[in-house]
Amino acid sequence: MAITYTSGEQVEVYRFSIPATVLIPLAAVFLQAFLPLRFRFFSIFDLPLLVTIGFATARRSPLAGLLTGSFIGILQDALTHHPIGLYGISLTVVGFGASSLGIKLDVEHSGARFLLTIFFYVVHEVVYFMIARGLVGLHMEWSWPHELLSGVANALLGVLIFMLLDRVKQRT
Amino acid sequence: MDVLGRYRNLIVLVGVLFAQVLGLAVQVKRTTDDESTRLIRIWAVDTVTPLEKALVWVQTSTGNIWHNYFYLRGVRAENRSLKAQVERMSLERVRMSQDADQARRLQALLAFKEQFISETMAAQVIGSSGSELSRSVYIDKGERDGIKPDMAVITADGIVGKVLRVYGSTSLVLLIDDQTSGVGALLDKTRLQGILRGTPSGEVVLEKVMSDETVPAGEMVLTSGGDGIFPKGLLVGRVTKVSPGSELFLNIRVRPAADLSKLEEVLVVTKIDERQAEPDQTGAARAIDILAERLPKVPTKPENTVKADAAGTVAPTTVAPTTVAPAGTAADAKPKAVPAEASDASGTATGQKKASPASSSGSSSGPKATAAGTHAVKDSPRPVKATVEPKPQPAVEDSPH
């Protein structure tokens, strides 16, 4: 079913079961903490971010998107030694933005998902950078090539994760 | 109401962001975790780490079963034991090397105190923080195992970090390559001191070394003990690059000796002891001992007083300075009063069989001689009379002959 989204009425909204809503973000945070110890290269990925984008674009509800992002971000913050709120704020913004954009764009196609993920990865990094430097006083280095490369890597993984999320999402 | 309904999502977004920014500002201002954020951390850690522990346990157990029973049975266990031994010896070697250098430099300082690791606890690394900007790992030992904040975490290769937060059965360890960590460090040869810090990119640099100093690449970096967390002399890493830095300081890059990206097992230093450096006992006698010898004193009543009394008069107790044995403790080596005439008379006037000085001392020490005293006699180039209690002997002058 091709959806062009020329009208808001054509937008399909999905929901997730409660176990999926709870367990998938938890699994993402867990894997993010566990896998980089075993596979060094995995630290380039940001699973909680990808799950936030995946949930937000599927639900297409800004309110649900920002709350999901806030929850996942705070959980991610709690495992670090930095103040709680760094990831919380940036994922809140991403969750809100992704769900708002999901209403206007066709996010069912892999190409669109790929570009959307790159875009929100950069948004996430920019917001995090600003808060970390401005509010917390952390020293951070910004490198466009590194951010874009990481964005592409995350987008590739994101396409796969969104496919997995498609299997558990339910039509409302 | 219409406006509220229309901008409901934006209002909620602003509200949630405002709350988080406010919370962030409060946490940044406070130096310690307040109760609310600590609870969130405890919940998060208690949610995630049990799964990590379980996975690590399964991974370790499976590996152990395979290696211990199916693949080269016994060799693995022996290898592990040998590795542990090498680790212990490696730590000991570093410490002893430092001790030797330290002793040479501080020979004259009798009141100098040194630290050494007396207890460690092995811990398994079960997870990381999940963020590249928070370089920290979780270990499977916590409050219940006696872990406390600010304990040093090391491996046989070098230092790893310090315990930052302690939970019930896990702890968060801040690695030395995190930008918020700081370790007191010194260069092995040049003895220049600085502060070891992490950078946002995960490198480790030695700061606060003046730019007019010469630091060769490849030089070892050790802990200085100045941070109060790591004992002095533990290996940190090696200098890889030296370049002029900002202001008046050098920019010294250090490659950590421990591979911080592949941590599996670490040692938490649970107890550090301080001990007093012992003064050199081979030197001249201390002034206080010489003074003590010149003071009049009451002789110790010997066991065979009755016998001596029966034989005649007891030899007058005189004080004779004696050689201090090189070995033994200060108490053992302390010169004691010796009846000089009695010693001489024992072989001559009394007509007893004359013994060599060493054998004489050895025989007279009897069961009262301490181990240190006995050892001192063996090592001493001169007859040592100080380690035994004086035996009463008939005085020559008072002899009935």
Q: Which domain holds residue A30?
A: 17-171
pLDDT higher than threshold 50 for residue B313: no
Residues forming beta bridges with residue B274, ordered by sequence position: B115
pLDDT higher than threshold 90 for residue A2: no
Extended strands (E) in B245-340: 250-256, 265-276
Q: CB B20 to CB A76 under 8 A? A: no
Q: CB A81 to CB B55 under 8 A? A: no
| CA distance to partner chain B, nearest, from residue A30 (Å) | 6
CATH number at residue A62: 1.10.1760
A43: contact with B, CB 8 A cutoff: yes
Q: Is residue A74 part of a domain?
A: yes
Q: In a mutagenesis test of the B interface, which of A22, A31, A34, A135 is the best target, namely the one with the most B β-carbons within 10 Å?
A: A34
- Token pair of A21, please? 């809503």
Q: CB B23 to CB A141 under 8 A? A: no
| CA distance to partner chain A, nearest, from residue B172 (Å) | 8
- B33 phi, psi to nearest 5 deg: -65, 130
| CA distance to partner chain B, nearest, from residue A145 (Å) | 14
- B215 phi, psi to nearest 5 deg: -125, 115
pLDDT digit string (tens) for A10-43? 667 788 889 999 999 999 999 999 998 888 889 8
- Lowest-pLDDT range, B40-54, B276-290, B366-380? B366-380
Nearest residue to B264 via CA among B107, B50, B60? B60
* B204-207 and B171-175 beta bridge pairing: unpaired
- Token pair of B71, please? 């693949």
Q: Among positive and negative, which fits the CA dihedral A26, A28, A32, A35?
A: positive
Give the pLDDT score at B37: 60
Q: In a mutagenesis test of the A interface, which of B18, B20, B27, B40 is the best target, namely the one with the most A β-carbons within 10 Å?
A: B20
Q: Which residue has the higher pLDDT, A1 or B131?
A: B131
Q: CB A96 to CB B9 under 8 A? A: yes
Q: What angle do CA B161, B49, B42 make, to 5 degrees?
A: 85
Q: Which residue has the higher pLDDT, A13 or B49?
A: B49
Chain A residues inside the 8 Å CB shell of B129 = 33, 79-81
Q: Which residue has the higher pLDDT, A99 or B373?
A: A99
Q: What angle do CA B170, B49, A50 make, to 5 degrees?
A: 140
pLDDT digit string (tens) for B204-215? 999 888 888 888
pLDDT higher than threshold 90 for residue B2: no
pLDDT digit string (tens) for A112-143? 999 999 999 999 999 999 999 988 888 888 88
Q: Which residue has the higher pLDDT, A34 or B310?
A: A34
Q: Is residue A142 part of a domain?
A: yes
Q: Which residue has the higher pLDDT, A77 or B357?
A: A77
Q: What is the DSSP letter of B134?
A: B
| C-alpha pair distances (Å), B151 with each of A155, B225, B234, B311 | 40, 13, 14, 68
pLDDT band at B125 (very low <50, low <70, confident <90, very high): very high
Q: What angle do CA B287, B297, B111 make, to 5 degrees?
A: 30
With beta carbons less than 8 A apart as the criterion, state whether B197 and B207 touch: yes
Q: Is residue A12 part of a domain?
A: no
Q: Is residue A41 part of a domain?
A: yes
pLDDT digit string (tens) for B332-377? 333 333 333 333 433 333 334 343 333 333 333 333 333 333 333 3
With beta carbons less than 8 A apart as the criterion, state whether B121 and B146 touch: yes
Largest CA distance in chain A: 49
Give the pLDDT score at A88: 95
CA–CA dist B26, B37 (Å, integer): 10
Q: What is the DSSP letter of A172?
A: -
Number of domains in chain A: 1
Return the number of other C-beta atoms located less than 10 Å from residue B277's C-beta: 16
pLDDT digit string (tens) for B26-38? 888 776 666 666 7
pLDDT higher than threshold 50 for residue B290: yes
Q: Which residue has the higher pLDDT, B97 or B110?
A: B97
Chain B residues inside the 8 Å CB shell of A32 = 130
Overall average pLDDT of the A157-161 stretch:
95
Give the pLDDT score at B36: 60
Give the pLDDT score at B76: 75
Q: How far is CA B341 from the centre of its chain?
A: 49
pLDDT band at B286 (very low <50, low <70, confident <90, very high): low
Q: What angle do CA B329, B331, B332 make, to 5 degrees?
A: 65
Q: CB B136 to CB A80 under 8 A? A: yes
Q: B132: nearest CA in chain A?
A: A43
Map out the domains of chain B as residue ranges: 36-276, 287-379
Domain B36-276 sits in CATH at: 2.40.10.350
- Cβ-Cβ contacts under 8 Å for A94 (sequence gap 6 or more): A49, A52, A53, A56, A69, A120, A123, A124, A127
Residue type, B272: I
Chain A residues inside the 8 Å CB shell of B137 = 37
Q: Is residue A141 part of a domain?
A: yes
Q: Is residue A105 part of a domain?
A: yes
Give the pLDDT score at B268: 94
CA–CA dist B90, B99 (Å, integer): 14
By percentage, how much of chain B surpasses pLDDT 70? 61
What is this structure's pTM? 0.68
Checking B302-310 for CB contacts under 8 A at 24+ apart, the result is: B302/B389, B302/B390, B302/B391, B302/B392, B304/B391, B304/B392, B305/B392, B308/B392, B308/B393, B308/B394
Give the pLDDT score at B342: 38
Place of tokens 């460090």: B185
Nearest residue to B262 via CA among B175, B134, B204? B175
Give the pLDDT score at A122: 96
| CA distance to partner chain B, nearest, from residue A170 (Å) | 23
CA–CA dist B399, B401 (Å, integer): 5
With beta carbons less than 8 A apart as the criterion, state whether B342 and B285 touch: no
Q: CB B21 to CB A89 under 8 A? A: yes
| Average pLDDT, rounded, for chain B | 72
Place of tokens 């590739």: A156
* B265-276 and B152-154 beta bridge pairing: antiparallel
Q: CB A33 to CB B12 under 8 A? A: no
- B57 phi, psi to nearest 5 deg: -65, -45
